[in-house]
Amino acid sequence: MPAHKKTTQRKRSVRSANTPKPAFSFSRWALPVVTLCVGVALGSCSDSLTGTGKELARFVQAVLTSDVLREKLDAVLNPGAADRPVVQAKTPPAARQGAEPFAACPQFFAGGMSPVLHFQPLQRPLCFEAFAILHSGQTKTPVFVAQKLNRRSVANANEKRTDRFFADARLPRAERAELDDYRNSGYSRGHMAPAADMPNPTAMEQSFSLANTVPQSARHNGGAWAKVEQDTRQFAERAKGNVYVITGPVYAQGSKTVGENRVRVPDYLFKLVYDEAGHRAWAHWHANRDDAQAGPPISYPELVQRTGIELLPGVGL
């Protein structure tokens, strides 16, 4: 009779419920690794490729160098971090340094009090016909822009758009953006106080000051962000009283710059809406990129945590 081999049973390993899962996941890393390998391989032999092969090589190179791919990979490595900036933790609360900086135009701030933030050099308050700006000579952009909207102001906001941007002469030359900084930059001149909100010809002209703009993704500016601006006007038109709006940029470490004057490109944009009659506030928070989509509004405390600015010090929220 043939000899029977003794079958050895392999012991099944049992993972303890407390044993952490391995950090590496093939399904998670397969696409980036394969894409990288293909790109490297095609790049190394590009001299011998012709026709379709070279087109494929160029496509892979474009994918590997795209900002969108880098952001998506960052989202995989740091889940939950893609929609918010790095904010200093446990920053002591800011206190008003000296007198109210916007004493000349307190009407744009709820309770007549402008936002409170930690002092930074080269910050200058600017009052306009229909909005107020705290401008930063470091970033060459606004820190925030404040407006007061209501049913009457929105009804009057039917001025013809001028589109005549200009460098603001009230700012020192070394602290401001110039028209050439935006030329061929790949970014649009994004209004913080929208031109479509302006209730008279003077306000419309003033809204095109570069002090009121940031380098903004063109598709975002004309798409998801334009919808936020429109929705805000429609809410102000329905509101029972005044609606205070504060809009501004947020920068992460290592943010880009454009132009000879190194105008900083925001990583995020926010728009805070405060309904005075309803004593409630919410904020829109968008990444400054072409594929940014409108998400649900965030709360006022969350916005304060993300920006480090007490934006409504006069209303007790």
Q: What CATH number does the domain containing 261 carry?
A: 3.40.570.10
In a domain, 263, yes or no: yes
In a domain, 4, yes or no: no
Confidence bin at 295 (pLDDT 50/70/90): confident
Q: Are residues 58 and 119 in the same domain?
A: no
pTM score, two decimals?
0.73
> Cα(85)–Cα(306) distance, rounded to whole angstroms?
7
pLDDT at residue number 2: 45
- Per-residue pLDDT, averaged over 162-180, amounts to 96
Confidence bin at 265 (pLDDT 50/70/90): very high
In a domain, 11, yes or no: no
Q: Are residues 72 and 124 in the same domain?
A: no
* Contact status, residue 108 vs residue 233, Cβ threshold 8 Å: no
In a domain, 90, yes or no: no
Q: Are residues 65 and 159 in the same domain?
A: no
In a domain, 98, yes or no: no
Q: Are residues 241 and 132 in the same domain?
A: yes
- Per-residue pLDDT, averaged over 5-17, amounts to 44
> Cα(92)–Cα(225) distance, rounded to whole angstroms?
32
195 compared with 54, residue with greater pLDDT: 195
For the segment 239-264, what is each residue's pLDDT rounded down to a tens digit?
A: 999 999 999 999 999 899 999 999 99
In a domain, 13, yes or no: no
Q: Are strands 213-216 and 188-191 parallel, antiparallel or unpaired?
A: antiparallel
> Cα(247)–Cα(179) distance, rounded to whole angstroms?
22
> Cα(253)–Cα(24) distance, rounded to whole angstroms?
28
Residue 91 has pLDDT above 60, yes or no: no
**Contacts of range 178-183, beta carbons closer than 8 Å, 24 or more positions apart:** 178/210, 178/259, 178/260, 178/261, 179/210, 180/259, 180/260, 181/140, 181/258, 181/259, 181/260, 181/261, 181/263, 182/210, 182/215, 182/258, 182/259, 182/263, 183/259
In a domain, 298, yes or no: yes
Determine what percent of the chain falls in helix, strand and coil, rounding each to the nearest 5. 35, 20, 50
Q: Are residues 111 and 157 in the same domain?
A: yes
- Per-residue pLDDT, averaged over 19-30, amounts to 43
Number of compact structural domains in the chain: 2
- Per-residue pLDDT, averaged over 57-64, amounts to 49
pLDDT at residue number 249: 98
Residue 232 has pLDDT above 90, yes or no: yes
Percent of the chain with pLDDT over 90: 63
Residue 209, Cβ density class (10 Å: 0-12 exposed, 13-18 middle, ≥19 buried) = buried
Three-class DSSP category at 210: helix
pLDDT at residue number 61: 47
Q: Are residues 62 and 189 in the same domain?
A: no
- Per-residue pLDDT, averaged over 197-205, amounts to 96
Could you count the other beta carbons within 10 Å of the beta carbon of residue 272? Answer: 26
Residue 127 has pLDDT above 80, yes or no: yes
Range of the domain at 61: 27-77
Q: Are residues 72 and 110 in the same domain?
A: no
In a domain, 21, yes or no: no
